[in-house]
Structure 1
Amino acid sequence: MAKRSTLWLTIIGLLIGLLILMVLSISLGSAQISFTTVWRVILSHVPVMGEWIERDWPDSTATIVLDLRMPRILLASVVGAALALAGALYQGVLRNPLADPFILGVSSGASFGAAMTFVFGIQMVWIGQMTLPVVAFICGFATLMVVYSIARIGQKVRMETIILAGVVVQAFLGACLSLVMSLANEKLQTIVFWMMGSLTLTDWSYNAVVLPVIALTAIVAMMFTRELNMLGLGEEVAHHSGVSVERTRFILLILASLMTGAAVAVSGAIGFVGLVVPHMIRLIVGSDYRMILPLSIIGGALFLVGADTLARVSLAPRELPLGVITAFLGAPFFIYLLRQAKREYF
């Protein structure tokens, strides 16, 4: 009972913090639009309420608020939630506190697909501007399948083997990516900026494609909290508790990689979210995945919306790559984790 009340109090606190941050974020940007004007624009599109608001702003103001800032902030929250939840799943499945969503090479695969799209002008007629995220997602998922097939020996996959396979495939794809970038010429800057993480090109269509994928995989992942808790006690304990270890591990790795691939496909490679957020949640509520998973979703959204706001306003009108901000915030925490692990080991 105490755990449940702690969970709900923490969820409510994080949701309030996320709501406040989103309100501030949508009111800030390189374009100088007053707080009241921003919210008059938004409320003017609310049924009934909009009839009482005089629309005395230019069309460009409405475009900035409704078609640039709002979809970007929503996508930042969705991507942050996906990366944090994927990080929590990887750490639980691999039983490695330093695991993050990019450990199995999904990010490298998606980045390679995006670079190919930029350089060779790949365009799928039937999806138009969504070609980039779709190709990046397909390449990221294909990378996971390659890693898993390399690591599979008979009917089993050892965790040490899959991590090593991920490192090897990631290194190979890194070399392929460097080769593509050397052929990029005028597209090089675009590729580099995308690889550092950015939500600059976001519009409502990106949310429409990514949100259902991430929401569905998150709902399925939430059904495996008991299995994650059992895996944390060891494979033998989990097996004797009725958990199908290999099947559960495969499903959770697929779910985590699907979320990572979908997130990376629309935002580029944004590091440290999946490493930092689950650990911060674990420090607050302990190691029960019934609490870690839902809180990681909200915490990830909060973290990335805050980071994206800093990226937009810190050097306005210029914009910093989002991955730079998350690295500045996450690297000190990563160092802290390494020092803690070193103390425990010795």
Structure 2
Amino acid sequence: MITVASDTQKTELTSAPRWWPAWLDGSLLTLAVGSCLVVLCSTLVQVSFGAFTMSIQQAWRAVFDPIVWSNPYVLLQFFFGEGVATTVANLTGLSTASVDLSKETLIVWNIRLPRVVVGALVGMNLAVSGAIFQAVTRNELASPYILGVSSGAGLAILLTLVVFTGFSTFLPVFAALGGTTAFLVVYAIAWKNGTSPVRLVLAGVIVSTIFGSLQTAMYLLASDISVVQSAIAWTTGSLTGTDWEQVRMILPWTLFATIPLSIVASRQLNVLLLGEKTAKALGMSVERVRFALSGVAILAASAAISVAGIVGFVGLIVPHVVRNIVGSDYKRLVVGCLFAGPALMVAADVGARLALSPTQIPVGIVTGLVGGPYFLYLMRKKERLGEL
């Protein structure tokens, strides 16, 4: 049926500049600006507290220290390491002269700010991963945790920490392999002349339970109590002790896989939401597209798990929140998740660090305490919670 646009809609369409993307509306801009403000405020709180106390003004000056921001070589050292910074400097002629930074700037940039950056990248990857899985399964309760990806990646990380300790530098690779293996098992269990969203979710629950039991069994193989404590931190999700090394581990995956692939795939995600019959009628190879999009979600979730462990509920609740604000169009939804995910993760980490100060609790506990009541609210509000 063809509908005629109202006068108000016509006015809005004609008043918008031609270069302005139609999907970039006021609700998405409001979400993006609000999320950025949450990240900024949380960052200032995060960098202001610690063993070395400083005021908000001192923290602000340290974060925006002109000596750091005006020197590309120093920024490259922080984000990409000494080797990459020196190589780029030699190729481009940048000055490699050392600079004198204040004590506050060194503490903020070497210890506190990396934790914020890692939290933002983790939230971004988990939110996008959850949004993709919800479209692939057409179920708003789907997430990397539900579909077994988190459990598979977590088991691979525990094996690396407990058994193959010499390969800890390859944690992102092993996490991706573990998450991929788990999802392949889920796909194999759910396959019966094709897959269905319901079978995928049920198979994911089964695989998550089995892999979770194997994770618990791994504790019995660890003779060193410090390894056990590290393993527990991984399975509950924690940003304690993260530094620029973790930033360098997750940043390439985020920049060159999660962000571009999820945005490019938004059209296919919208088609999948129409249902299998409609998607096939439009010429889509549903199983191939579903499998490829799941690969993108696995990479995003595995990259996050490799640096922060298994953080629950972020991939589940962020797409819900964004969908309620910007609607179900995946072009807007994916972009909204890229902003809202970091906001939730960085704010939750502030609570994890300061709630029981000086004791720091895992950030996964905070996201669980936030996610549980939120889903109770959804369950009471919506009569048909589940199918998209």
TM category, shorter: 0.7 to 0.9
Aligned counterpart for 1:254 among listed residues 273, 291, 295? 295
1:76-95 to structure 2, matched below 5 A, reads: 76-95=119-138
1:157 alignment partner in structure 2? 195
Mapped to 2, the partners of 1:64 and 1:136 lie a distance apart of 30
Aligned counterpart for 1:27 among listed residues 43, 48, 67? 48
Mapped to 2, the partners of 1:134 and 1:65 lie a distance apart of 29
Q: What displacement does 1:55 show? A: 6.6
Query: 1:23 corresponds to which letter in structure 2?
Result: L
Does the 8 A contact of 1:29 with 1:312 survive in 2?
no
Does the 8 A contact of 2:48 with 2:54 survive in 1?
yes
Deviating more after overlay: 5-14 vs 72-81: 5-14
Query: 1:270 corresponds to which letter in structure 2?
Result: V
RMSD: 2.5
Aligned counterpart for 2:156 among listed residues 107, 113, 125? 113
What is the DSSP-based 3-state SS (H/G/I as helix, E as strand, rest coil) of the residue aligned with 1:4?
coil
1:176 alignment partner in structure 2? 214
What is the DSSP-based 3-state SS (H/G/I as helix, E as strand, rest coil) of the residue aligned with 1:157?
coil
Mapped to 1, the partners of 2:70 and 2:216 lie a distance apart of 51
Matched, 1:222 2:263: yes
Query: 1:250 corresponds to which letter in structure 2?
Result: F
Distance 1:180 1:294, change over 3 A: same
1:135 alignment partner in structure 2? 174
1:5 alignment partner in structure 2? 25
Q: What displacement does 1:5 show? A: 2.7
1:267 alignment partner in structure 2? 308
Deviating more after overlay: 307-316 vs 179-188: 179-188
**Percent identity over paired residues:** 37
Query: 2:276 corresponds to which letter in structure 1?
Result: E
Does the 8 A contact of 1:115 with 1:180 survive in 2?
yes
Listed one character per residue, the Cα deviations across residues 61-103 of structure 1 (whole Å, up to 9, x for unaligned) are 4443111211110010000011111111111111111111212
1:300 alignment partner in structure 2? 341
Mapped to 1, the partners of 2:158 and 2:372 lie a distance apart of 26
Mapped to 2, the partners of 1:343 and 1:118 lie a distance apart of 42
2:5 alignment partner in structure 1? none
Does the 8 A contact of 1:29 with 1:313 survive in 2?
no
What is the DSSP-based 3-state SS (H/G/I as helix, E as strand, rest coil) of the residue aligned with 1:123?
helix
What is the DSSP-based 3-state SS (H/G/I as helix, E as strand, rest coil) of the residue aligned with 2:367?
helix
Mapped to 2, the partners of 1:173 and 1:140 lie a distance apart of 11
Does the 8 A contact of 1:112 with 1:176 survive in 2?
yes
Mapped to 2, the partners of 1:224 and 1:133 lie a distance apart of 23
Does the 8 A contact of 1:130 with 1:206 survive in 2?
no
Aligned counterpart for 1:309 among listed residues 321, 343, 350? 350
Aligned counterpart for 2:279 among listed residues 225, 235, 238? 238
Query: 1:170 corresponds to which letter in structure 2?
Result: S
| TM-score w.r.t. length of structure 2 | 0.79
2:95 alignment partner in structure 1? none
Matched, 1:277 2:298: no
Aligned counterpart for 2:187 among listed residues 109, 134, 148? 148
Distance 1:56 1:115, change over 3 A: closer
Mapped to 2, the partners of 1:276 and 1:141 lie a distance apart of 23
Aligned counterpart for 1:328 among listed residues 345, 357, 369? 369
Mapped to 2, the partners of 1:291 and 1:332 lie a distance apart of 26
Listed one character per residue, the Cα deviations across residues 140-160 of structure 1 (whole Å, up to 9, x for unaligned) are 222222322333345x22222
Q: What displacement does 1:254 show? A: 0.8
Aligned counterpart for 1:69 among listed residues 106, 112, 128? 112
Distance 1:298 1:237, change over 3 A: same
Deviating more after overlay: 170-179 vs 246-255: 170-179
Matched, 1:47 2:70: yes
Does the 8 A contact of 2:353 with 2:359 survive in 1?
yes
Mapped to 1, the partners of 2:276 and 2:266 lie a distance apart of 15
Distance 1:317 1:57, change over 3 A: farther
Mapped to 2, the partners of 1:189 and 1:9 lie a distance apart of 41
Distance 1:20 1:189, change over 3 A: closer
| TM-score w.r.t. length of structure 1 | 0.88
1:166 alignment partner in structure 2? 204
Q: What displacement does 1:330 show? A: 0.9
Structure 1: where are the runs of 5+ without partners? none
Distance 1:209 1:87, change over 3 A: same
Mapped to 2, the partners of 1:135 and 1:273 lie a distance apart of 22
Query: 1:4 corresponds to which letter in structure 2?
Result: L
Mapped to 2, the partners of 1:55 and 1:205 lie a distance apart of 22
Q: What displacement does 1:34 show? A: 2.3
Deviating more after overlay: 166-175 vs 270-279: 166-175
